[in-house]
A and B are shown apart, each in its own frame.
Chain A
């Protein structure tokens, strides 16, 4: 908690310390550029896989820290938690929860519109996923693997240092699984469809 408070303070400091039209003047070099996005997520899933057929998204959250920028490209480190409830015990086991933890690098291309008050930003991510099934304090095993996603952010600037944003992100998750040949893909090729709303703190 203390760490988050410090990070937030740092971002606000960066925000107020910079000029107001930094979006408008993408510089042709790498720049150290920090802003924080914290958000609430509505997790979902699609396709013929256990996440989609055996679970239902309940809630999630995430935060990401942008680190560097180059022209209109922005690179961040992100963590996102997506909580699902198991709805089909025959597919996902008689377990209450499936928790999907995404750790990834996010590359975003910002397209300012409407005099730079709005921005639409296509993004791609790449990183790792850890899926943990549990009931109360009891673990029913973890799966780890690679994860990629594509998506879009829509940003709305409230002040120079504070904004709102929405995100749609479609993920491809490849957790490690050993199963009967006809079931393997069902457990190892998962598709996540998450919608998020949150705050952007700091100036890009």
Chain B
């Protein structure tokens, strides 16, 4: 009898203790709003915008962006499309135990109804509840661009110290397709390298809009335990650009 009771309690604990599900507050409602414009600052109509929420599983970091673990939980908790003036507004229940909140702009997800493959997409990730004032977060204007107006930017960073293993924190300010911005760390987001690399160099390949100046920021060392950053401006014309930085 005691043995059966023990197993029953054990099963109950296993079922309840491994709950990695996202939880929401039904009584708190959050607003995300903003405006989407093109490279000429003209409003874009019918562009999909959605809010992604994730909770890490016990397997560690997980997300739609980085690849979810099976024991994680994630939701597209709300979505909408921009109106004729480019504005969007979404309301959703406040998550209570999430690890990440992100805004997807023109990103193809299961809820996409007007995903526009002619335009670039971007993600604003790392949004925290403390960023939301009075239950409202206004992202202002976000620019995406027509992919007919796209070219390629390759950045090679040489002489990276060995302890970086070919990865350094970088950030691009400009019109970039598949861009991922951290809401709270706008200057120091770590992109994956997409080209061949060895331990002392990194290659980054980006799809960017033509005829713009992109500000490229990268981690160029650690001073007194604090990362320092260098910035360079890269001009993009009508042709692909190869840009080399000596660390």
- Is A177's CB within 8 Å of the partner chain B? yes
Q: Which of A94, A131, A138 contacts B26 (CB 8 A)?
A: A131
Alpha-carbon separation in the docked complex, A179 to B91 (Å): 10
Q: Are B111 and A132 in contact (CB under 8 A)?
A: no
Contact A178 B111 (CB under 8 A): no
> Across the interface, do B136 and A94 meet the contact criterion of CB distance under 8 Å?
no
Q: Which of A14-22, A72-80, A180-188 has 4 or more CB atoms under 8 Å from chain B?
A: A180-188
In the bound complex, residues from chain A placing their C-beta under 8 Å from that of B26 are 131-133, 140-143
Comparing A26-34, A41-49, A85-93, A164-172, the segment that makes contact with chain B is A85-93
Majority-rule SS of A interface residues: mixed
A129-163 vs B: 1/0 string, CB under 8 Å? 00111000011111100000000000000000000
Q: In chain A, what residue has the closest Cβ to B90?
A: A90
Partner of B91, one of A93, A133, A139, A142: A93
- In the bound complex, do residue B24 and residue A139 qualify as a contact, i.e. CB atoms below 8 Å apart? yes
Q: A143 — which chain B residues lie within 8 A by C-beta?
A: 26-27
Chain B CB within 8 A of A176 CB: yes
* Category for how many chain B residues contact A: 20 to 34
A84-104 CB mask vs B (1 if < 8 Å, else 0) is 000001111110000000000
Minimum CB distance partner of B96 in chain A = A141
> Out of A93, A139, A178, which one reaches B135, CB within 8 Å?
A178
* 8 Å CB contact of A90 from B23, B27, B78: B78
Interface flag for B25 (CB, 8 Å): yes
Task: Give the distance in Å from the alpha carbon of A132 to the alpha carbon of B27 in the complex.
Answer: 10
Cα–Cα, bound, A122→B166 (Å): 77
Q: Which residues of A contact B88 (CB under 8 A)?
A: 90
Verify B78–A94 contact, CB threshold 8 A: yes
Alpha-carbon distance between A143 and B24 when the two chains are bound, in angstroms: 11
Name the distance in Å between B132's Cβ and chain A's nearest Cβ.
10
B84-115 CB mask vs A (1 if < 8 Å, else 0) is: 00001111110000000000000000010000
How far apart are the CA atoms of A131 and B23 in the complex, in Å? Answer: 16
Please give the distance in Å from B244's CB to the nearest CB on chain A.
45
Chain B residues lying within 8 Å of A89, measured Cβ to Cβ, are 78-80, 90, 111
Interface pair B79/A179, CB less than 8 Å apart: no
The residues in A between 92 and 120 inclusive whose CB is less than 8 angstroms from any CB of B are: 92-94
Verify if B21 is at the interface (C-beta below 8 Å from A).
yes
Interface hits, A171-201 → B, CB 8 Å: 175-181, 183, 187
Known: A138-B21, A140-B26, A178-B135. A94 touches B31 (CB 8 A): no
CA distance A93 to B30 in the complex (A): 10
The answer, yes or no, to whether B134 is at the interface (CB within 8 Å) is yes
Let me know if B79 and A177 touch, CB within 8 A.
no
B187 located at the interface, meaning its Cβ lies under 8 Å from any Cβ of chain A in the complex: no
Whether A183 contacts B25 by the Cβ 8 Å rule is no
> A179 touches which one: B50, B80, B135 (CB < 8 A)?
B135
Residues of chain B contacted by A181 (CB below 8 angstroms): 134
Q: Report B69-91 residues with CB < 8 Å from chain A CB.
A: 75-80, 88-91
Q: Are B89 and A90 in contact (CB under 8 A)?
A: yes
Report A-chain residues with C-beta under 8 Å of the C-beta of B136.
Answer: 180
Query: How far apart sit A180 and B136, CA to CA, in the bound complex (Å)?
Result: 6
> Is B128 interfacial (CB-CB < 8 Å)?
no
Name B29's contact: one of A131, A138, A139, A178 (CB within 8 Å). Answer: A178
Q: List 25 A-B contacts (CB under 8 A).
A: A89-B78, A90-B88, A90-B89, A90-B90, A90-B91, A92-B91, A93-B91, A93-B93, A94-B50, A94-B75, A94-B77, A131-B26, A132-B26, A133-B93, A138-B21, A140-B93, A141-B25, A141-B93, A177-B29, A178-B27, A179-B29, A180-B134, A183-B31, A183-B91, A183-B135
Top-10 shortest CB links A-B: A141-B26, A90-B80, A179-B29, A141-B24, A180-B135, A142-B26, A93-B92, A180-B136, A90-B90, A140-B24
Residue numbers of B with Cβ under 8 A of A are 21, 23-31, 50, 75-80, 88-93, 111, 134-136
Q: Can you add 13 more A-B contacts, CB < 8 Å, to A89-B79, A131-B26, A141-B27?
A: A89-B78, A89-B80, A89-B111, A90-B78, A93-B77, A93-B78, A94-B78, A139-B24, A141-B24, A141-B25, A142-B26, A183-B31, A187-B29
